[in-house]
Structure 1
Amino acid sequence: MKFTLSWLKDHLDTAASLEEIVLGLTRVGLEVEGVDNPADRLAPFRVAKILEAAPHPQADKLQVLKVDTGTGEPLQVVCGAPNARAGLYGVFAAPGTYVPGIDVTLKVAAIRGVESHGMMCSERELELSDAHTGIIDLAGEPAVGTPFAEVLGLDDPVIEVAVTPNRQDCMGVRGIARDLAALGLGTLKPGTVESVDGGYDCPVEIRTDDPEGCPAFFGRVVRGVKNGPSPAWLQRRLTAIGLRPISALVDITNFITFDRGRPLHVYDLAKLSGAVVARRAAEGESVVALNGKTYALTPEMTVIADAREVHDIAGIMGGEHSGVETETTDILIECAYFDPQRIGRTGRALGLTSDARTRFERGVDPAFLEGGLQLATRLVLDLCGGDPSRELRAGQPPVIAPQVNYTPDLTKRLTGVTVDPAEQAEILAALGFMVETGDTWCITAPSWRRDVDGAADIVEEVVRISGFDAIPSTPLARAEGVAKPTATPAQLTERTLRRAAAARGLDEAVTWSFIAPQDAESFGGGVFVLENPISADLAVMRPSLLPGLVAAARRNSDRGAASIRLFELGRRYLGEGERLTLGLVLAGARQEKDWRDGAAKGFDVFDAKAEVLALLAAAGAPVERAQAFTGASAWYHPGRSAKLGLGPKTILAEFGELHPRLARAFDLQGRVAVAEIFLDAIPAPRGKRGRAVYSPPALQAVTRDFAFVADKALAADTLLRAVQKAEPKRITAVRLFDLFEGAGIEPGKRSLAIRATLQPDERSFTEEELSAIAGKIVEAARAVGGELRE
């Protein structure tokens, strides 16, 4: 549903800003999908005056103009518009301006040998209408250089809201204004419709022979109308919401559809024959609709027809034959109420949507038939003239005014929000409800709110106006008999790991628990062999998750996947029993080839290590105490792999690059990083695990850098752990940031540069304290074989 700010203010007397209105719409449940101000797109276009217009020396249909743009010296512009003349005030686009109607950014150009510095614009070039026979000719003498949008009043934001199916009242601008008025953003204007008396009886019989599909059919004739273009204000409103202005008569019906949520239809009286009847379609009937398509009708559909043929798919779309044209002088205005269910079924059967169907199948206000007909008549007389007949009314619209018994404390019980009863009554009255207070309130819903069915709907109305944001976040009490959560700690850990892996960009795979015997042999050998496998390639229970994951990586690679990041959480089947494990594989490129860093980079052992550490931390493992050990399983690359454990007997994971022999066997190119995390090896937390509370230190940390020379055999991790233990309460982090071998370093040794983060507690460090901590770090490094580099 789209509307402009000025259109809204026709119904809402408000001083609220656009930002306040947009926020208010969202608060009352009308989600704002977009706000677009045409003035922003038209900002570069300015009012200009043509000072001179001379024939082009090389082209009969072109003129060379001298244009005053208000920026200094007049500019020379070549123009082909027949109405270009000296003294005309028009719209100028300077070089560098993007013209949306022709999708061109202007530049100084020679046209038939004459330079043109910009252009004078037509309405179509600015996407204001389809008019393009000449340039825009502004009335009066507007100030040269003034923004064109300001002169024409186009500084009018267009607001688009999403209307839920139950809010049929907000399919018109007036319904939206009513909600905002109830919110306190202004006062709803009266919106009364002036009654128009007719001077003669309606010459056309109107009746409904299908009271189920069309309970009420109102209409009247207007003779002597003059159909033509609608006025500029009406065209601008329709254009702003995406509708194409057609003629005054058609534009009036479209305007009322969006203004009041009341679709109508206008027939050319000269094209009708006999009585105009709402009836069911006959078997085999068809109609050519206004969209030019022919639709086959069935007896389940309601139509509007005369004595000769069908003219209208009732409530959905008019027929092409009886539509009004420029030559139309006598018209029949139809205003009817159609059954929402019938309209919905017909529209779905025909695959036909329209603005009318959208409103009728939700349910238009049945009490506004008279008002809608009178409003349409008044606009026709004002814009097209004519002489109206008296009205004809066939049938009666349904009375929709559901009554609900309600107690104000229900709002508190259902939502937890306390709203004063007096405020509740005020909100409901502002929304059009009739409220009779007492011990139990009797509330009558307005005719435009057919969605109100019970007391809970009244609560919703109160709370959405008082503010959904006031609803407290309160857990509901567990109902008696409802089981408590039964997930075990291991199951909760599984859920956490799945989320953590997905959050790190890994895709979950689910592979077979059975694998081929040769694959099982490559990954440690299978203990359990099936006696009656479903396939020879699925004969052994997997001793590792990696065969299935690596095979899945190959299938993804064969299908063109450039970067493969898979994980699986399942069980390995070993001699001592089933072991819950998380396996992962990283293959292909870490990222696609990029102009910034050249060739795409592949995965390596450190990528696998990073994933393992992150997932172990998510599972609650004490990764700060974990150590890397050599001697990973035989299916890992012997020089690019490791085990991670809390000691040599408590191994939490293995990680590294897949052995090149196995990578070739699985037909995978490049390095393949793999890992397995042994979840059953993660120690259970001691006592009850409390929620971690972030408590930032009060004092700023200090960093100190050290470089140590050590044998190549010394693992960097050993050095880092030794330094960390030198002053565990004050050294909060240690990391390696450089490794150097070469000039100045003895053969067989290397320099390891580390950065230690020192965190003071109650007061900042003194120079003496920092020197003492540095001394402890040097001594700790020396204890494991590292000497401070000079």
Structure 2
Amino acid sequence: MKFTLSWLKEHLATDASIDAIVETMTMTGLEVESVENAGEKLKAFTVARIISAAKHPNADKLQVCQVETALGNLEIVCGAPNARAGLVTAFAPIGTYIPGSGITLEARPVRGVVSNGMLCSGAELELDTDADGIFELDSELKVGTPLAEALGLNDPVIDIEVTPNRPDWLGVSGIARDLAAAGVGKQTTKPIMPVPGRYPCPQKVETDDTTACPMFASRYIRGVKNGPSPVWLQRKLRAIGQKPISALVDITNLITHDRSRPLHVYDAAKLNGVVRARMGREGESFQALNKNVYNVTPAMCVIADDERVLGLGGIIGGEYSGVSETTTDILVECAYFDPTLTHQTGRALTLTTDAQYRFARGVDSAFVVPGLELATRMILDLCGGEPSEIQVAGDLPAPPKPIFFDPDRVRQLAGIDVKPTRVRAVLKDLGFETSAEGQGSKRIIVEPPTWRRDVEGPADLVEEVARIEGYDKMPMLDPPRAPGFRPPPASIGESRTRLARRAAASLGYNEAITWSFCSRAQAQAFGGGGEDMLVANPIASDLDCMRPSALPQLLAAAQQNANRGFDDARLFEAGPAYANTDDIGQKRTLTAIWRARPPRHWRAAPQPDIFDIKRDVLFILEALGAPVASLQTATDAPAHWRPGRTGTLKLGPKVVAYYGEIHPRALKAINVEAPALAFEIFLDALPAPRAPKNGQGRTKPPLEKLDLQPLTRDFAFIVDDGVSAQDVVRAALGADKALITDVNLFDVYRGERMPAGKKSLAIEVTLQPREKTLTDSEIEAASAKIVSAVMKATGGTLRG
């Protein structure tokens, strides 16, 4: 919702600065997105007049114009088809930055003729979307006048975000009302004077569905003259990003933004029979004013005559019955449409207009006839004509129900001590009617206005008083706690997640927070996307499925960074993944990706691989207290992991983690460049920490201080090619648990000297004496245990 400061002051008498007004708006609940002065970006542009326009000697589509400017008469090359002698337009001198095209003008020859500036279109000035011709200004404007002044744009434009429950804030008068209640000024909105009709309305209107359209009011005006709207009206609309169209259309757009009251004007000569609001029928369609054709369903409210659909009720009119410069007789529509149905129709057609945006939130139901009177008065003033009597079909919805309210509830709920007289004064300033419940009663009866149907109970009234009095007056108090209350300790899952995040960050991964949804195509590429995981009401078309893993979003985020020049991304996320709709279908995971792209260098950098990502997984698991030594490695990973470059860590039948390289097919499905390394740790699959025997909580193991130097021995075993190195390492490590502290694989050999189907695995075993230095015989005995354990576990032999 945009409006200018001068527009606001048409409804609010105030001397407050723009900063004070914005601050008050924020404190009363209006979220101010921005405050811009369009005159700042247009300060280099001035009004100019074309003296003559001749064909360019070297180009058929260009003209050489002699232009009267603030800098004198200049020669300018122009390609606009509407450039002609006498035209008043916008001029930019050399050195000016053009906001719509992002260029800075330089004195360069155009096909051999130097252009000493530029004549600008509305799109180049970012005043509208028209780029076909140069901007046409009022011929009475003086050459050299600053463009912002000529267009009335040297006026701050305030852009606010309106919450769905406050449709009255979608009109400038409604904003002025709240600011006046907050003490910024006095509301000066002029009362609406009825326009007497001179004849019965010749065009009959009806509403066939009083749920979809409870009330349909109309008025016939004959003898109007439609054309360009006055300069003041065009300036007002351009300032908020609206393109002026014609006087009749501009009047309806003005009232829409000024009073949050959408209207529509029909060319009466194009109407056939009764005009009625009804539900759509199968097979019906119409071309809207935005040139699109829409198919109507029985769940949509339409406005139609006896021959065709004229438009969607409360959303958009049709091209056929729209007004033009030749229109002389009109039918003005002012109706009330059901908010829920209007919202559902707009959502089904992905169509949002200024009217739909307001009707879907609920406009003032009591402003139907007054809004029609206001539009009539403006049409008569700007277009002339003779009005008929107002014709009304249907009835208004019932007003909001009265609320019995104790003013002391403000103190009880908000903690602000406000006197009852002040409570009633605040509510009155906001448009609420108050009266005493009865003699001796502290309660009052509050009747919400028709534009505040969101106020339904005492708590809503407390909020109204609190925001006007100032949220800064609310005391900061902790809620009362029961004696001896202690906040509950973190669960095992929460503690584990916190530790996992900390461990991943310490490895150099950056945390990302993404949606728990993804597109169905992404989900299917990563093992999900079933019918049961589709979201019934997605917030966006590409977020319509519960994610089976955080991998798609992390990979997409890394690719997005790469597209912007930030490659070699390492991202992680601690969040849920969804396998199915069962109670245990949601899994707590720590997922990370590594799109390894080392910087180019004359000395080639090593390329990370599966072993680097496995190192990170084991580091995090060890930080979580997982029994790393007991983990088994397998290769049975899901299809989105690349075979041969992927590993699975298990504890018995439970999968603890997947790691390795993502399959190029899965990356291609989500438009991510290969290769990419990743891991996924399932935190709930880790065993819970053992409870200590003393019941005092988890403690660190005692520090074992060893003064004796460890020694190492190397062994090489010939085993079958299918034997895992992990089997060799685990067997050696268990040969003597008291003496052997570490086993590492350092060589794998397959070659000419190996029998067919065999390989050599070489390990380094660390022996740590604790009480005394080991003798040769003790070392030999330990070595024999190691050889025996490995041979028994793998069927291998010691390599000579």
TM-score normalised by the chain length of structure 2: 0.63
Deviation at 1:87? 9.1
Instruction: Look up the match of 2:5.
Output: 5
Residue 135 to residue 350, structure 1, CA distance change in 2 (3 Å): closer
Residues 405 and 444 of structure 2 are in contact (CA less than 8 Å); yes or no, is this contact kept in structure 1? yes
Residues 169 and 449 of structure 1 are in contact (CA less than 8 Å); yes or no, is this contact kept in structure 2? yes
Give the total of aligned pairs.
Answer: 583
Q: Distance in 1 between matches of 2:125 and 2:708?
A: 72
Residue 226 to residue 467, structure 1, CA distance change in 2 (3 Å): same
User: What are the residue-to-residue correspondences of 1:113-132 with 2, within 5 Å?
Assistant: 113-129=112-128, 130=130
User: What are the residue-to-residue correspondences of 1:493-512 with 2, within 5 Å?
Assistant: 497=499, 500-501=502-503, 505=510, 507=572, 510=589
Q: Distance in 2 between matches of 1:94 and 1:539?
A: 69
Question: Is 1:23–2:23 an aligned residue pair?
Answer: yes
Deviation at 1:346? 3.5
Instruction: Look up the match of 1:149.
Output: 148
Deviation at 1:138? 5.7
Letter of the 1:62 partner, please give it: Q
Structure 2 SS opposite 1:436: strand
Q: Distance in 1 between matches of 2:347 and 2:148?
A: 42
Letter of the 1:251 partner, please give it: D
Q: Distance in 2 between matches of 1:44 and 1:276?
A: 51
Instruction: Look up the match of 1:238.
Output: 237
- CA RMSD after TM alignment: 4.8
Question: Is 1:188–2:295 an aligned residue pair?
Answer: no
Residues 508 and 567 of structure 1 are in contact (CA less than 8 Å); yes or no, is this contact kept in structure 2? no
Instruction: Look up the match of 1:467.
Output: 470
Question: Is 1:37–2:37 an aligned residue pair?
Answer: yes
Question: Is 1:487–2:489 an aligned residue pair?
Answer: yes
Q: Distance in 2 between matches of 1:19 and 1:154?
A: 19
Instruction: Look up the match of 1:325.
Output: 324
Q: Distance in 1 between matches of 2:174 and 2:379?
A: 23
Residues 53 and 63 of structure 2 are in contact (CA less than 8 Å); yes or no, is this contact kept in structure 1? no
Deviation at 1:118? 1.5
Instruction: Look up the match of 2:251.
Output: 252
Instruction: Look up the match of 1:62.
Output: 63
- Which moved further from structure 2: 160-169 or 51-60? 51-60
5+ residue gaps, structure 2, are 512-571, 575-588, 592-616, 639-646, 668-673, 693-697, 714-741, 749-800
Q: Distance in 1 between matches of 2:332 and 2:260?
A: 17
Question: Is 1:456–2:563 an aligned residue pair?
Answer: no
| Alignment deviations for residues 248-307 of structure 1 (CA, whole Å, 9 cap, x no partner) | 212222221121111111111111122222233345444333334444434443332222
Q: Distance in 1 between matches of 2:706 and 2:92?
A: 69
Q: Distance in 1 between matches of 2:150 and 2:319?
A: 38
Residues 98 and 124 of structure 2 are in contact (CA less than 8 Å); yes or no, is this contact kept in structure 1? yes
- Which moved further from structure 2: 148-157 or 51-60? 51-60
Instruction: Look up the match of 1:591.
Output: none
Q: Distance in 1 between matches of 2:4 and 2:707?
A: 69
Question: Is 1:476–2:475 an aligned residue pair?
Answer: no
Letter of the 1:65 partner, please give it: Q
| Alignment deviations for residues 505-525 of structure 1 (CA, whole Å, 9 cap, x no partner) | 36367589xxxxxx99xx999
Letter of the 2:45 partner, please give it: F
Deviation at 1:4? 2.2
User: What are the residue-to-residue correspondences of 1:738-753 with 2, within 5 Å?
Assistant: none
Deviation at 1:458? 0.1
Q: Distance in 2 between matches of 1:428 and 1:309?
A: 47
Letter of the 1:41 partner, please give it: K
Q: Distance in 2 between matches of 1:422 and 1:497?
A: 56
Letter of the 1:487 partner, please give it: P
Residues 127 and 241 of structure 2 are in contact (CA less than 8 Å); yes or no, is this contact kept in structure 1? no
Residues 70 and 143 of structure 2 are in contact (CA less than 8 Å); yes or no, is this contact kept in structure 1? no
Instruction: Look up the match of 1:165.
Output: 164
Letter of the 1:235 partner, please give it: Q
User: What are the residue-to-residue correspondences of 1:235-634 with 2, within 5 Å?
Assistant: 235-437=234-436, 439-478=442-481, 485-487=487-489, 497=499, 500-501=502-503, 505=510, 507=572, 510=589, 526=629, 541=651, 552=659
- Which moved further from structure 2: 115-124 or 404-413? 115-124
Residues 411 and 459 of structure 1 are in contact (CA less than 8 Å); yes or no, is this contact kept in structure 2? yes
Residue 234 to residue 426, structure 1, CA distance change in 2 (3 Å): same
Instruction: Look up the match of 1:717.
Output: none
Structure 2 SS opposite 1:552: strand
Residues 272 and 306 of structure 2 are in contact (CA less than 8 Å); yes or no, is this contact kept in structure 1? yes
Instruction: Look up the match of 2:797.
Output: none
Q: Distance in 1 between matches of 2:85 and 2:710?
A: 90
Structure 2 SS opposite 1:108: coil
Letter of the 2:175 partner, please give it: I
Deviation at 1:222? 0.3
Deviation at 1:131? 8.1
Q: Distance in 2 between matches of 1:429 and 1:318?
A: 37
- Which moved further from structure 2: 470-479 or 186-195? 470-479
Structure 2 SS opposite 1:291: coil
Residues 215 and 337 of structure 1 are in contact (CA less than 8 Å); yes or no, is this contact kept in structure 2? yes
Structure 2 SS opposite 1:213: coil
Q: Distance in 2 between matches of 1:359 and 1:565?
A: 48
- Which moved further from structure 2: 103-112 or 266-275? 103-112
Residue 661 to residue 556, structure 1, CA distance change in 2 (3 Å): farther
Residues 52 and 67 of structure 1 are in contact (CA less than 8 Å); yes or no, is this contact kept in structure 2? no
Residue 236 to residue 138, structure 1, CA distance change in 2 (3 Å): closer
Letter of the 2:37 partner, please give it: N
Q: Distance in 2 between matches of 1:465 and 1:266?
A: 38
Structure 1 SS opposite 2:189: coil
Residues 264 and 332 of structure 2 are in contact (CA less than 8 Å); yes or no, is this contact kept in structure 1? yes
Residue 116 to residue 310, structure 1, CA distance change in 2 (3 Å): closer
Residues 34 and 160 of structure 2 are in contact (CA less than 8 Å); yes or no, is this contact kept in structure 1? yes
Q: Distance in 1 between matches of 2:708 and 2:394?
A: 91
Letter of the 1:312 partner, please give it: G
- Which moved further from structure 2: 99-108 or 178-187? 99-108
Residues 662 and 678 of structure 2 are in contact (CA less than 8 Å); yes or no, is this contact kept in structure 1? no
Structure 1 SS opposite 2:659: helix
User: What are the residue-to-residue correspondences of 1:68-79 with 2, within 5 Å?
Assistant: 69-70=70-71, 76-79=75-78
Residue 562 to residue 489, structure 1, CA distance change in 2 (3 Å): closer
Deviation at 1:380? 1.1
Residue 626 to residue 133, structure 1, CA distance change in 2 (3 Å): farther
Instruction: Look up the match of 1:640.
Output: none
Deviation at 1:44? 2.1
Q: Distance in 2 between matches of 1:469 and 1:634?
A: 70
Q: Distance in 2 between matches of 1:40 and 1:626?
A: 72
Deviation at 1:631? 8.8
Deviation at 1:342? 3.0
Q: Distance in 1 between matches of 2:297 and 2:685?
A: 60
Q: Distance in 2 between matches of 1:316 and 1:629?
A: 84
TM-score normalised by the chain length of structure 1: 0.63
Residues 340 and 362 of structure 1 are in contact (CA less than 8 Å); yes or no, is this contact kept in structure 2? yes
Instruction: Look up the match of 1:753.
Output: none
Residue 626 to residue 178, structure 1, CA distance change in 2 (3 Å): farther
Residues 432 and 446 of structure 2 are in contact (CA less than 8 Å); yes or no, is this contact kept in structure 1? yes
Q: Distance in 2 between matches of 1:633 and 1:525?
A: 23
Residues 56 and 64 of structure 1 are in contact (CA less than 8 Å); yes or no, is this contact kept in structure 2? no
| Alignment deviations for residues 126-158 of structure 1 (CA, whole Å, 9 cap, x no partner) | 2435386556556557474x5321343211232
Residue 138 to residue 294, structure 1, CA distance change in 2 (3 Å): closer
Q: Distance in 2 between matches of 1:221 and 1:33?
A: 40
Residues 527 and 573 of structure 1 are in contact (CA less than 8 Å); yes or no, is this contact kept in structure 2? no
Q: Distance in 2 between matches of 1:470 and 1:633?
A: 72
Q: Distance in 2 between matches of 1:435 and 1:483?
A: 43
**Identity within the alignment, %:** 46
